[in-house]
Amino acid sequence: MESNTTNYNLPGLWERIKDSAKRLGRFTTKKALLMYYVLKSDSTPKSAKAIIYGSLAYLILPINLISAKRHPILGWADEVAVIAIAYRKIKQHITPEMDQEAEETLDKWFSR
């Protein structure tokens, strides 16, 4: 039986996260990565996955509550807030392996 984790392919998510990583900072980017890894896990409840889908969709969809082009600081603050709220709701599903994978990805993205 094939695992559901291979079926997750959110077009544009990785590019959006990578593009936003430097602007959002390592701390916030790590939260987004961890949510993605929790989403991929077969053991994550559907309710947690729904929270993650909603928050990650907010990051990659072109429509935001506050436009970053019109209000640069507030425009990015709403994205950070969405990630922080979602992260608090799902953090109990993060494993040490997920945390390690996120750190390794961040090391690549934030390397000089």
Buried-exposed string 9-35: b where 16+ CB fall within 10 A, e elsewhere: eeeebeebbeebbeebeeebbbbbbbb
Instruction: Please report, as a single letter, which amino acid is at residue 57.
Output: A
- Please say whether the beta carbons of 48 and 61 come within 8 A: no
- Going from N- to C-terminal start, the domains of the chain cover 24-109
Instruction: Please report, as a single letter, which amino acid is at residue 17.
Output: I
- Reported as a single tens digit per residue, the pLDDT across 12-57 is 666 666 777 777 788 888 988 898 899 999 999 999 999 999 887 8
pLDDT recorded at residue 14? 67
Q: Whole-prediction pTM value? A: 0.70
Instruction: Tell me the C-alpha distance between 92 and 2, whole Å.
Output: 25
